[in-house]
A and B are shown apart, each in its own frame.
Chain A
Amino acid sequence: MSSSPPPAAPATAPQAAVESPEVARQGTQKLLKYLVIAVPYLWLLAFFLAPFLIVLKISLVEVRVAMPPYSELITFVEDGWIAFHGSLENYLWLWDDPLYINSYLSSLKIAATSTVLTLLVGYPIAYGMARAPRRWRFALLMLVILPFWTSFLIRVYAWIGILKKEGLLNLALTHLGLISEPLTILNTDIAVYIGIVYSYLPFMVLPLYANLEKMDLSLLEAAADLGCRPIKAFWVVTVPLSMTGIVAGCFLVFIPAVGEFVIPDLLGGSETLMIGKTLWTEFFNNRDWPVSSAVAVILLLVLIIPIVLFQRQQQRSAEAEA
């Protein structure tokens, strides 16, 4: 039986002497562990967190004609005193000048609209892939993933030749007799929508496909058996079950689209306002580093809500699977 009483505490003195090399070896293991943690940790602190804190700092100071082109936040004056020169002036400036607020709002609007469009384009593709015979699926998946690997810039560039006034789309439409005057698409918001849908389509299709592929098809048979027509079954069974895929796909498109620079710059017009482009202009053309830092800080604040929501949703679906 298990009723034996615990033995007296083992004599420790001689054992401790024997154990010391073992303890030393365990110390080495521990050191190794902390070393493995330290290398990437310090790297990210130095090249991710520190830079961001610098952005925060510079957003509080003034622009100056010098190198670097901004004033100091903290200066050391005599007697060990330090002087703090920060102000929220740059942020007030963003509030006063309608350009910035309009850029933020317009970015959100463009990102939201193109997310919906991407969903509308992506869902049928993902659905078709998930219902395709098993032996096709790998090839179809590769076809979706491949553009994701090829250069973003090149894929956006490819659309310029198509959407231009004398481009291939207008050429084709005129040939077919559908239009008499060439359409102006390039350098409008429509071109930006097309660019975003095109560039981010794999981000929408992949989570949707992963979700739809897992779906138990006998659920649809059960629905049919209970008298539900296929189209209705799609809306009341398939769509609700693929909700996690839809939400994940939408976040994956919306979040990067808000801060997009290349697409509005190459495909959009001068009146297309997007915050990424505004930041770029502020930095490279106006050389106002403090204001562009303030723009960056606000952009991040705007994005934090969807990012946090997205992470929550990911966590929840991971938990639901476990």
Chain B
Amino acid sequence: MRQGLTWFNIASLLLGFLFLYLPIALLIIYSFNESRLVTVWAGFSTKWYAEMLQNQGLLNAGWVTLKVAFTSSCFATVLGTMAGLIMSRFGSFHGRTLFSGMIYAPLVMPEVITGLSLLLMFVAVALDRGFVTVTLAHITFSMCYVAVVVQSRLAGFDRSIEEAAMDLGCPPGRTFFQITLPIIAPAVVAGWLLSFTLSLDDLVIASFTTGPGATTLPMKIYSQVRLGVTPEINAVCTILVGLVATGVLTASLITRRQEMRREAEERQAIANS
């Protein structure tokens, strides 16, 4: 009963992960299919990748998406870190309830509503729709995710560390940059990464808030998907999945390494004493 796996456990893990990964695996495999027909395997080929690189519309959309994702994730990280700090360190102030409501609400708000409401506001203030509006929209919902990630990291670390800095003569502003920020850095990086991929993935909000000339990659994929499955889209998807998976895996393996080293050193210290 201890930690051994029963056959049932092993079977449910295998089937579960098969379910999670098979569709993506098939998508990747068929991006290398010679034939245009999705169901017929006609031999290995990279021609769809070549074709994709010829598709100017797709490349433009990809470029726009990267620009939006990079800009919005940087802004969202700054704003979200501030918001996380406010929620876990600033105690009570007027309008705190409204503030935390506005942080949590976008996380559960259906995307269609967020998109619609932002669009209506951009129209109301007569802001031309395009790169700027999509970026503003992405900053707004991404910063809430960053805030939650940063807040949970702040909640997890000993507050007296910051008090100790102040006790030793460091004013609050400097304490944030010299003590707090280095400690929560992993959460801030994770928040940035999360914002970046959220922006990279977003279809619904971008569809509402974008304008001519700023079509994002998910929108492009969506409009082609509605016309049917094509190996070219499979190729684009494979590249996107590959990029994100590599980024996330690298980031988490690095953190994991550091954690393991740290734990080993801690055990060593206790053993030596």
Contacts and interface: CB of A to CB of B under 8 A. Distances in A.
B111 A259 contact: yes
The dominant DSSP class at the A interface is: helix
Interface stretch (A14-22, A121-129, A242-250): A121-129
Interface stretch (B45-53, B118-126, B178-186): B118-126
A187 interface: no
A162 B26 contact: yes
Contacts of B200: 151
Contacts of B222: 153, 262
Contacts of A154: 24, 27, 221, 237, 240-241
Interface in B147-204: 147, 171-173, 197, 200-201, 203-204
A255 B123 CA distance: 28
Contact of A132 (B9, B106, B117, B221): B9
B172 to A, nearest CB: 6
B13 A292 contact: no
Contacts of B143: 40, 43
A164 to B, nearest CB: 7
A54 to B, nearest CB: 5
Contact of B79 (A32, A40, A261, A276): A40
A185 to B, nearest CB: 13
A293 B121 contact: no
B85 A51 contact: no
A232 B90 CA distance: 48
Interface stretch (A4-12, A84-92, A98-106, A141-149): A141-149
Contacts, number: 244
A125 B245 CA distance: 21
Interface residues of A, number: 89
Contacts of B1: 217, 220-221, 224, 230
A211 to B, nearest CB: 16
Interface stretch (B56-64, B95-103, B265-273): B95-103
Nearest to A35: B82
Interface of B: 1-6, 8-10, 12-13, 16-17, 19-21, 23-24, 26-27, 30, 38-39, 79-80, 82-83, 85-86, 90, 93, 95, 98-99, 102-106, 108-113, 116-118, 120-121, 123-124, 136-137, 139-140, 143, 147, 171-173, 197, 200-201, 203-204, 207-208, 218, 221-222, 225-226, 229, 233, 237, 240-241, 244-245, 248-249, 252, 256
Interface of A: 29, 32-33, 36-37, 39-41, 43-45, 47-52, 54-55, 58, 68, 121-122, 124-125, 127-129, 131-134, 138, 140, 142-147, 149-155, 157-162, 164, 166-168, 171, 198, 201, 205, 217, 220-221, 224, 230, 255-256, 258-262, 266, 276, 279-280, 283-284, 289, 292-293, 296, 299-300, 303, 307, 310-311
